[in-house]
Chain A
Amino acid sequence: MDIWSTLSDTFLDWESMKAVLPEMLKVGLVNTLILAAASVVLGTLLGMVVAVLALSSKRWLRWPAKIYTDIFRGLPAILTILLIGQGLSPITRHWWGPNPYPLGILALSLIAAAYIGEIFRSGIQSVEKGQLEAARALGFSYTSGMRLVVIPQGVRRVLPALVNQFIALVKESSLVYFLGLLASQRELFRIGQDAAATNGNLSPLLLAGIFYLVITVPLTHFVNHFDKRLREGRPVELEDVELKELAHANR
């Protein structure tokens, strides 16, 4: 048997790729981008709240943030998505019917917020203590000093780690497939998966993979470029090393 023709039958069946391409573009790509973008926005907002709570001097604010982070970082994403997506569906179906999208986005956002909260926290903590002290000496309240002086610097330092998290979200959005989607709600993976089952080869999944790469690879390069600029723009500080390790550990 010719290995090459076997492999090319499996992965490079142009006809089945061509057949699924329009749906991949119009439905799959759009839905993946919607899922990823919505959970990026929600996850970032919630992550900032988690970070600020985790940095509080008050224990009763710090603890909930800690527990939250432990839980959502410690569970497999697929388990969280199923528990929330299926578990809450009987309640939420009164509001928006059996649509799994809102709960899928919620689950992805809750998971993302745990990671993003840690990224923000480490970034904010890496800002020299003197910055808040100087702000307070000028007459800023703790809240204003954090908001205007400390947090903007902290966020800037962790942008690379943050973009890595966004990349992870693009990929994890495929897990929403386990909640059962209507034809019009299918994202890249599900469309590839369905077409692969119909055609009896994996070419549509390979096409889906290419679409993911089209989204994630430019983001990766953006991070590298940004990272390089950060490093060449100013001396590497200890915090930067820690942050990179953190970004790495998140993968």
Chain B
Amino acid sequence: MRTVEAASLEVSGVELAFGSNKVLRGVDLVVPAGQTACVIGPSGSGKSTLLRAINRLLEPDAGDVKLGGESVLRGDADVLRRRIGMVFQHFNLFPHKSVLDNITLPLRKIKKLDAEAAQAAARAQLDLVGLAHKAGARPGNLSGGQQQRVAIARALAMEPEVMLFDEATSALDPELVKGVLSLMADLAEAGMTMVVVTHEMGFAREVADQVAFMDHGVVVESGVPEQIFDSADSPRLRQFLSQVL
């Protein structure tokens, strides 16, 4: 199905400030192609800002972001974002369009597919997330979990080289979290490069190749899940884990 290879992602020394408020203070994160990095940390630590710096929804003030070994900061940001899929906490589906049209809109307008090809691609993607039967529905008539799966399908239909997940299950009712997480796990399994900002420690432990703990705008500690969850070095991380686990 996939025709585009997942790419590696390398974030080095990225800084970003809102006015005088330095949110990112030199973030380093390396995600080899096909691997999944989970980013954990307290709210306000800069996790969501980091994702937006990677796809340049927010422009970094310093540092570099490399996709497949090449810096992405000098090129056209709109073109860059076509290579990076993003999934949001609040889904952000377009409520005035049907589920199918949510997926076909970027395919037609950005990938320049004709209507027929776009529909075929969109239906195939909806099928993969188990929602082919909802193609004609409005997002507002779907459950949160279904909406998030549509949002994932919309991002995947663009054939991204990297996927970013910004607390994708935080706005979901507890019983709907599992379906979305298992879809994300499948995607990781299939070899997508993923950066997952999450509060789901179980997911991070099970699925991540690497877990990065952020606090105050830097990655304080990172490593394989066992290291982070079972033998954390930094006191700050140990304190954080004692609060969330």
Contact = CB atoms under 8 A, between A and B. Distances in A.
B94 A131 contact: yes
Contacts of B84: 137
Contact of A138 (B79, B90, B110, B140): B110
- Interface residue SS majority, chain A: helix
A131 B106 contact: no
A160 B245 CA distance: 50
Contacts of A136: 57, 78, 81
Contacts of A193: none
Contacts of A135: 94
A234 to B, nearest CB: 6
A135 B155 CA distance: 11
Interface in B129-165: 140, 151, 154-155, 158
A148 B106 CA distance: 10
> For chain A, which range describes its interface: under 10, 10 to 19, 20 to 34, or 35 or more residues?
10 to 19
Given A134-B92, A134-B94, 11 more contacts: A130-B88, A131-B92, A133-B92, A134-B86, A137-B86, A138-B106, A138-B154, A139-B78, A140-B106, A148-B109, A153-B94
Contact of A139 (B82, B95, B151): B82
Interface in A132-188: 133-141, 144, 148-149, 152-153, 156
A149 B88 CA distance: 16
A139 B81 contact: yes
A74 to B, nearest CB: 34
A153 B78 contact: no
A130 B92 contact: yes
A81 B83 CA distance: 54
Nearest to B111: A139
A179 to B, nearest CB: 41
Contacts of A140: 78, 106, 109-110
Closest 3 CB pairs of A and B: A134-B92, A139-B82, A137-B86
Interface of B: 55, 57, 78-79, 81-82, 84-86, 88, 90, 92-96, 105-106, 109-110, 140, 151, 154-155, 158
A72 to B, nearest CB: 30
Contact of A137 (B57, B96, B105, B109): B57
A152 B140 CA distance: 16
Contacts of B155: 137-138
22 contacts: A128-B92, A131-B92, A133-B88, A133-B92, A134-B92, A134-B151, A136-B78, A137-B86, A138-B81, A138-B106, A138-B110, A139-B79, A139-B110, A140-B78, A140-B106, A140-B109, A140-B110, A141-B78, A148-B105, A152-B96, A153-B96, A156-B96
Contacts of A134: 86, 88, 92-94, 151
Interface string A88-128: 00000000000000000000000000000000000000001
A156 B95 CA distance: 11
Contacts of B78: 136, 139-141
A136 B81 CA distance: 7
Contacts of B105: 148-149
A140 B76 CA distance: 12
Nearest to B90: A130
B154 A234 contact: no
Contacts of A138: 81-82, 106, 110, 154-155, 158
A130 B167 CA distance: 14
* Central interface residue in A134, A136, A137, A139, by most chain B CB within 10 Å: A137
